[in-house]
């Protein structure tokens, strides 16, 4: 099958983008609340359980998303973008996929495994631990996951700001091509 470029993402790509964005943002916010206001908002660990249930789905959805992206290329970038901006866009998207959608959930799974705490995938299926419990690694695992979460928050925030820049300043079609209502 020949790959062609259009000015808009497919409906499936849009669903995966916005669905995963909603899951990621909800999970990130819940994770921040669960850890930083643990005593006030999360005494029974309900927020932590919800955070893990949502975040763990990203590991499975990323497989679908990458497969879809490989078989359905992204729309071409505007000709007005410099080669350096094109490289930046590619690197930025790779970072979002690799760090925010793969490494961050994996680091949380690692932290839960080290702590001997279960992760229930949407409350239906318990994920197996990826390492044996080890309380001596608990603080390191927590630090890695927390640091990565804040880095990913900055990545996602930067992604949002750049998308808004394209729409309001550059006035190109990049943001419009991923919006759910855009069909061409």
How large is the greatest C-alpha to C-alpha distance in the chain, in angstroms?
56
pLDDT for position 124: 85
The count of other CB atoms within 10 Å of the CB of residue 40 is 8
Q: pLDDT tens-digit profile of 34-80?
A: 998 988 998 999 999 999 999 999 888 999 999 999 999 999 999 99
Query: In this structure, what DSSP letter does residue 136 have?
Result: G
User: What does pTM read for this prediction?
Assistant: 0.88
- Band (pLDDT 50/70/90 cuts) for residue 183 is low
CA–CA separation, 160 and 90 (whole Å) = 15
pLDDT for position 122: 75
- Band (pLDDT 50/70/90 cuts) for residue 90 is very high
Structure tokens at 81: 């973008």
- Label residue 122 left, alpha or beta by phi (over 0 means left) and psi (-120 to 50 means alpha): left
pLDDT for position 146: 95
Average pLDDT of the segment spanning 114-143:
94
| H/E element, 165 | helix 138-165
Which has the higher per-residue pLDDT, 181 or 153? 153
- The per-residue pLDDT of the chain, averaged, comes to 91
């Amino acid at each position: 099958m020949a790959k062609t470029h259009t000015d808009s993402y497919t409906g499936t790509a849009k669903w995966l983008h916005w669905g995963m964005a909603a899951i990621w943002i909800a999970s990130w916010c819940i994770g921040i609340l669960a850890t930083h206001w643990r005593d006030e908002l999360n005494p029974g660990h309900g927020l932590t359980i919800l955070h893990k249930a949502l975040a763990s789905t990203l590991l499975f959805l990323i497989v679908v998303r990458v497969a879809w992206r490989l078989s359905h290329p992204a729309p071409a970038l505007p000709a007005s973008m410099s080669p350096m901006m094109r490289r930046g866009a590619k690197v930025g998207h790779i970072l979002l996929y690799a760090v925010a959608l793969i490494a961050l959930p994996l680091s949380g799974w690692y932290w839960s495994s080290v702590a001997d705490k279960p992760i229930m995938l949407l409350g239906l299926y318990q994920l197996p631990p990826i390492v044996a419990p080890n309380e001596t690694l608990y603080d390191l695992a927590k630090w890695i996951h927390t640091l990565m979460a804040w880095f990913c928050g900055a990545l996602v925030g930067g992604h949002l700001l750049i998308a808004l820049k394209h729409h309001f300043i550059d006035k190109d079609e990049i943001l419009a091509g991923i919006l759910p209502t855009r069909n061409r």
